[in-house]
A and B are shown apart, each in its own frame.
Chain A
Amino acid sequence: MVLAMSSIDTNTVWEIPGERAPLVDNHDSLSTVTSEVLQAAESPKPPLGWYIALSVSSLLASMFGLMIGYLFFTGVGVWGNANPVMWGFPIVNFVFWVGIGHAGTLISAILFLFRQKWRTAINRFAEAMTIFAVVCAGTFPGIHVGRVWLAYWLFPIPNQMEMWPQFRSPLLWDVFAVSTYFTVSLLFWYLGMVPDLATMRDRANTKLKALGYGLFSLGWRGSTRHWHRYERAYLLLAALATPLVLSVHSVVSFDFAVSQLPGWHTTIFPPYFVAGAVFGGFAMVVTLAVPARQIWGLKNFITMRHLENMNKVILLTGSIVGYAYSMEFFIAWYSQAPYESFVFVNRATGQHAWAYWIMIFCNVVSPQLFWFRKCRTSIPIMMFVVMCVNVGMWFERFVIVLSLEQDFLPSSWAYFTPSWVDWAMLVGSFGLFFTLFLLFIRFLPVIAIAEVKTVMPEADPHDPRGGALEHHDDHDDSGKEQTA
C-alpha cells in the first residue's frame, strides 16, 4: 500500500495498522528534512517568543541562584523544613525532577529496543529534557546537605580523616544511581547527536559555527564502517539505559521504602515510583512538544500520531499509578497494622487532605479523558490533562513526604508550612530547566535528523522512492554470500 505523501493533514490519525499515518508528513526528500529540522538553529534570528521565554526563564534561573546563595550564607533554616518534617520541598522537588527525566530515557532506550519507530521524532528533545531535569534534580540534594562545602563526603574520596561513606544507606545508593543516570543519559544524548552535529558543521555559514560544531562532531563523516559500530554502540547504550532507568527511580523509592515508617515501608514503592516517573515525564514531554512544534513549525515530524501515542502512554501509566494508590489503601486495611491504616486514612482526611485530593484528581481522574480519541487528539484537552499531571505528580511526592507530619509521637505533630524560599526555589528550578531547554532548541538539532531519515521510505534502498527498481530481484542477499 502506498500512502499519499503529499498534503497529508497532520491531524489525521489512522488506527488500522496497515494504513497508519506516516511518521514524517509532507516530505519526500532527505534534504528538506535537514533544512526544516535545522531552521530553528539556523535561522539568523529566533522568533520573538523565544526571546521573551528566555528572558523570563533566565530571570527565574537567576533567582534560583540567588536563593541558593542565600541558603548557603544563612543555613537550611531558610526552608520550611522543621521537626517532624525534616524532608520538605527539597526532597519533593528532587523526586519530582528525577521522575521527569525518566520519560526521556524511556523514549530513547526502551522504545528503541521495542522498535517503536515513532520515537525518532521525539527522542532527541525527550533526552535533552532528561538531562536538564536531572540537573535540576541533582541541585536539591546537593544543597540540602546543610554544609555544602562538605558535599564531597558523599563520594568515596580518600581523605585525611580516613572516613568513608556508609554503603548500606539508600541515600548513598542514590548518589551513585543519580550520578550514573546523569552520565549515561548525557553520553547517550551526545552520541546520538554526533551525526547531526556533523550535519550542522557541514551547513555552517560562519567560522565560529563551523569550529564549534566541528569540534563537537568529532570529525564524523558518515562512514559506513563507523555507522556499523555506531549502531551497535547505540543499541548497547539503549540496552544499558533500560535497566538503569528502572533502577534509578527504584533506588529513589528506596530512600523512603528502606526506612521503617508506616506509609513508606512498602514493597510496592519501586514499581509504583517508576510508573509514576514515566507518567509525569511523558506529561512533561507533551507539555514541551506541543508549543515547540507550534513555534518552530515541526508539525511534520511531531505529528498528531506522536502526540496520541504519548497520550496513550500517559493513560496507561496513569492507570498503574491509580492502581498503586488504591493498592496502598487495600494493604493498609488488609495488613491490619494500625499505624499503616492511620497514615493512609490521615492522607485522605487529615490536615493535608486537600493535597491528597488534588493528587487524585490530577493523576487518576483527569487522564481518564484519554480513553476517548477526540481527547487524545485535541490540543487544548491534551494540554489541560498534561498540566494536571505535572501538578499532580508534584503533589504525589508532597503527599508522600508529608506522612512525616504525624509521626509516632502525637506531641510532635505539626502542620508543615513551606517558606517563601521553598517556593522561590521550586519556581527557580523551573526557570533553570526552561532556560537550558530554550538554549538547546536554539543551538542544537532538536530532532534526530539522521534517525528520522531512516524511517522515511526515501531512505530505504529497497523502496522505489529510495531509487530501487520496481522489481525486487536484487534484494540484499550479500549477507548470505559473506557467511557462505
Chain B
Amino acid sequence: MTTLPDFIRPVTEGETVTEAPAVEKAGWGLMAEFDTPAQIMAAAKSARQQGFRWWDTHTPYPVHGLDKAMGIKPTILPLLVLGGGATGLVSGFILQWFTNATSFDFWALVPIRGYDFLISGKPLLSTPAWIPVMFELTILLSAVGCVTWLLILCGLPQLYHPTLRSSRFARATDDRFFLVIESKDPKFHPERTRAFMESLNPMSIETLED
C-alpha cells in the first residue's frame, strides 16, 4: 500500500495537527464605512495626514469640501475642453471656407472638391454668415470633448472594480460614506491600517478582494 504524501493524506487517529500560522491577508485593500458626511470628512483629513497615496472616499453625492480635505489637485479638464472648443471653431471655419469658397480638390477615400458658391453677389469669404455654424461646432466639440475627457480621466467605463463586489458598498450610492485604502499604498500595513481605520470609529471595516 502506497503512502500518500503528507499534504493530502487523511489525519490518522491520535496524531497531533499543528495549525498553519494565520497569514494576514492583505487583499486589494481595506474599506471603512461611515454614517455621516461629517465623519467621512474627518476620516479623509486623518487619512491625508497619515500620508496615504492610494486611497479614496466614496459618497452618494459630492460632499462639499471633501475633495479639498483629501488634497485632490484641480483637474486639467477645463483646458482640455478649451482645446475641444478651439478645434470646433477652427474646423467650423475651414469646413465652410473649403466647401463654399474654394475649388481645391484632394483625395480622401473619395475625391473631395471645394465649390465656390456665388450667391447673389455675396463675397466668397462671407465670414459673418459662417459664425452660427462655427459657434455651434465650438459648443459641440467642447461638450463632446468634456464628456469624453471626463470619462478618460476617471478611467470610466470600468464595469469591474473590487469595491463593487462588496455588498455593503452598494450603499455608497444611497446613504453611506466609505474610506478605501488600497494595499498597494507604500504606507499600507494590514494591521496598522486596520487599527487606523478603527480609530476613526467606523460602522464597519471590510477587507476587499481583487
Which residues of A pack against B, CB within 8 Å? 29-31, 34, 156, 158, 160, 162-168, 170, 172-173, 176-177, 180, 183-184, 187-188, 191, 195, 198-199, 201-203, 214-215, 218-233, 236-237, 240-241, 243-244, 247, 251, 254, 450-451, 453-454, 458-462, 466-469, 474, 476, 478-479, 482
Contact = CB atoms under 8 A, between A and B. Distances in A.
A466 B37 CA distance: 6
A221 B48 CA distance: 21
B152 to A, nearest CB: 10
B183 interface: no
Contacts, number: 242
A230 B38 CA distance: 21
B15 to A, nearest CB: 48
Instruction: From A167, A241, A454, name the one whose CB has the most chain B CB atoms within 10 angstroms.
Output: A167
Nearest to A31: B175
Nearest to A229: B75
Given A173-B133, A233-B146, A222 B100 contact: no
A476 B68 contact: yes
B144 A183 contact: yes
Contacts of A201: 173
B77 A233 contact: yes
A172 B133 contact: yes
A228 B57 CA distance: 11
Contact of A158 (B112, B135, B139, B143): B112
Interface in B30-47: 35-42, 44-45
Nearest to A258: B129
A466 B100 contact: no
B67 A224 contact: yes
24 contacts: A30-B61, A172-B133, A173-B133, A176-B133, A177-B132, A180-B140, A187-B146, A218-B156, A222-B173, A224-B44, A224-B62, A225-B67, A227-B63, A229-B153, A236-B81, A237-B143, A247-B132, A247-B139, A251-B136, A460-B64, A461-B65, A467-B37, A476-B68, A478-B69
Given A160-B110, A222-B173, A478-B68, 19 more contacts: A34-B175, A164-B117, A166-B117, A167-B99, A167-B129, A173-B133, A176-B133, A187-B143, A195-B173, A218-B159, A226-B154, A228-B75, A232-B77, A236-B78, A240-B143, A247-B132, A247-B135, A460-B37, A476-B41
A112 to B, nearest CB: 14
A165 B139 contact: no
Contacts of A230: 62, 150, 154
* B interface SS class: helix
B67 A223 contact: no
B192 interface: no
B170 interface: yes
Contact of B160 (A187, A195, A219): A219
Instruction: From A218, A461, A469, name the one whose CB has the most chain B CB atoms within 10 angstroms.
Output: A461
A167 B40 CA distance: 55
A462 B142 CA distance: 35
Contacts of A222: 58-61, 172-173
A223 B113 contact: no
Contacts of A162: 111-113, 115
Contacts of A244: 136, 139
A187 B119 contact: no
Contacts of A224: 44, 56-59, 62-63, 66-67, 70, 72
A216 to B, nearest CB: 9
* A interface SS class: helix
A232 B81 CA distance: 11
A156 B60 contact: no
A229 B154 contact: yes
A312 to B, nearest CB: 28
Contacts of B66: 224, 227, 461
B157 interface: yes
Contact of B133 (A158, A167, A460): A167
A222 B95 CA distance: 41
A243 B68 contact: no
B135 to A, nearest CB: 6
Interface in B78-130: 78, 81, 95-96, 99-100, 108, 110-115, 117, 119, 122, 126, 129-130
B59 A227 contact: yes
B65 A476 contact: yes
Given A166-B117, A254-B132, A467-B39, A233 B45 contact: no
A445 B65 CA distance: 26
Nearest to B142: A240
Contacts of B72: 224-225, 228
A203 B159 contact: no
Contacts of B172: 202, 221-222
Contacts of A468: 38
Given A454-B61, A454-B62, A467-B36, A187 B144 contact: yes
B140 A184 contact: yes
Nearest to B66: A224
B170 A180 contact: no
B25 interface: no
A462 to B, nearest CB: 7
Given A219-B158, A232-B75, A479 B68 contact: yes
The 5 lowest CB-CB distance pairs between A and B, nearest first, are: A467-B36, A467-B38, A218-B157, A30-B175, A164-B99
A215 to B, nearest CB: 7
B170 A202 contact: yes
Instruction: From B42, B114, B117, B136, name the one whose CB has the most chain A CB atoms within 10 angstroms.
Output: B136
B37 A168 contact: no
A419 to B, nearest CB: 33
B207 interface: no
Contacts of B160: 219
Nearest to A216: B157
A473 to B, nearest CB: 13
Interface in B13-55: 35-42, 44-45, 48
B117 to A, nearest CB: 6
B159 A187 contact: no
